Amino acid sequence: MPVAMRSLFIQILIYGSPENPKRLWDTFKENLSEDFIHAARRNGQSVNSAINRAYRIIAHKLNTEATEGRNFQYWVRTFGFEDIGDYDIEINQSTVNADESAVLGANVSATKRKAGIASILLPHGRTSHKIFGLRVPLTPDSASSIKPNSSKARQLAEIDIFLMDEAPMLPKYGLQNIDQLLRSVGNPDLPFGGKVMTFTLEENMHIQIDQQQFAKYLLKLGNGELPLNNMDEIELPLSVISTGNLIDEVFGNCLVSENYDGMKDRAILAPLNKDVDKINNDIVAKLPGEYKIYYSNDSVKDQHEGALEFTTEFLNSVNISDLPPHELK
């Protein structure tokens, strides 16, 4: 939860217009640092050191995610936030393990490929799209959103080594964008601006042995090699078309045989969160036994007179991807 709260605080500073952001930090800094405070107490460290750690992470995020006019120095100059100067090195080194950060004593940054879910497997996880400003979707004429003289570009210029896990899963246009960006902040005559790029792929989870035929079909689909009908449409094979209840088709065998472990290897993808919630509820209803419902305890702290008021019912209705829903089954 503190990670989600820090993310929300950063989004408020970047996109919102808080009346007194310094007071907002002072009021909730212990809540925003709760995970670090627990760790500090276990290790005999001070609470202030834990709060300072969360503060450095917020400062770093503001300098890497906000526009030039809303970066960390803006909040220092305008609202009296305490200035610090060592957070970039600390955060960059904390994204890799001790062996990796010891490579030639270099400044190292690690990323995951384009999938957002993969980025959470790394501490302070970041996707290639985030760290290199790649567009969504990537096209032949795409370019990085990071400007050459911006604070983000200067931070990339200071990094010596990039470790990119599952790099082959990134479209070639993404690698071309990364090359162009790093040339603009480094040596324009060398690939990737002279930076050391380490690409890894332990296992392509998208292509298991029993899925190779379907994988080849997807490649042909992406390359435009499949035949079209008289209406210029691609006809999907019957094996990939759902003809009944999608939940039964995907999870039915596991539910009947009570192989609930096997359900972890299957998934139904949906474009909207509301569809995901409905599917999850329908699946839970098919599981044996009684389920429990956990409710959030939403409230507004220190609501000032004349400020915009939020009712508890409204807070209960807010459902964003960074926070759990009000009603959790």
Q: What is the pLDDT of residues 70-84, one digit of tens each?
A: 788 888 888 888 887
User: 259 lies in a domain?
Assistant: no
Helix (H) or strand (E) holding 213: helix 212-222
- Among residues 19, 52, 85, the one where a domain terminates is 85
Residues 185 and 228 in one domain: no
What per-residue confidence (pLDDT) applies to 100?
A: 36
Residues 116 and 179 in one domain: yes
Query: 45 falls in which pLDDT band (50, 70, 90)?
Result: confident
Residues 96 and 109 in one domain: yes
Residues 170 and 219 in one domain: no
Q: Which residues contact 171 (CB under 8 A, 6 or more apart)?
A: 114, 138
pLDDT one-digit tens code per residue, 113-133? 444 444 444 544 567 777 888
Query: 106 falls in which pLDDT band (50, 70, 90)?
Result: very low
Buried b or exposed e, range 105-128, using 16+ CB within 10 angstroms: eeebbbbbbbeeebbeebebbbbb
User: 285 lies in a domain?
Assistant: no
Domain count, the chain: 3
User: 281 lies in a domain?
Assistant: no
Go through the chain and tell me how many residues it has.
Answer: 329
Residues 122 and 167 in one domain: yes
Find the domain containing 229 and state its range. 207-238
Residues 194 and 95 in one domain: yes
Q: Which residues contact 220 (CB under 8 A, 6 or more apart)?
A: 226
What per-residue confidence (pLDDT) applies to 82?
A: 86
Residues 153 and 105 in one domain: yes
Residues 183 and 228 in one domain: no
User: 258 lies in a domain?
Assistant: no
Residues 44 and 105 in one domain: no
Model confidence, pTM: 0.41
pLDDT one-digit tens code per residue, 275-308? 888 898 898 888 888 878 888 877 766 666 766 6
User: 264 lies in a domain?
Assistant: no
Residues 81 and 117 in one domain: no
Residues 117 and 219 in one domain: no
Q: Which residues contact 65 (CB under 8 A, 6 or more apart)?
A: 10, 14, 130
User: 254 lies in a domain?
Assistant: no
User: 51 lies in a domain?
Assistant: yes
**pLDDT above 50 (res 155):** yes
As a whole number of angstroms, the distance between CA 103 and CA 161 comes to: 9
Residues 72 and 105 in one domain: no
Query: 90 falls in which pLDDT band (50, 70, 90)?
Result: very low
User: 267 lies in a domain?
Assistant: no
> How confident is the model over 27-52, as a mean pLDDT?
89
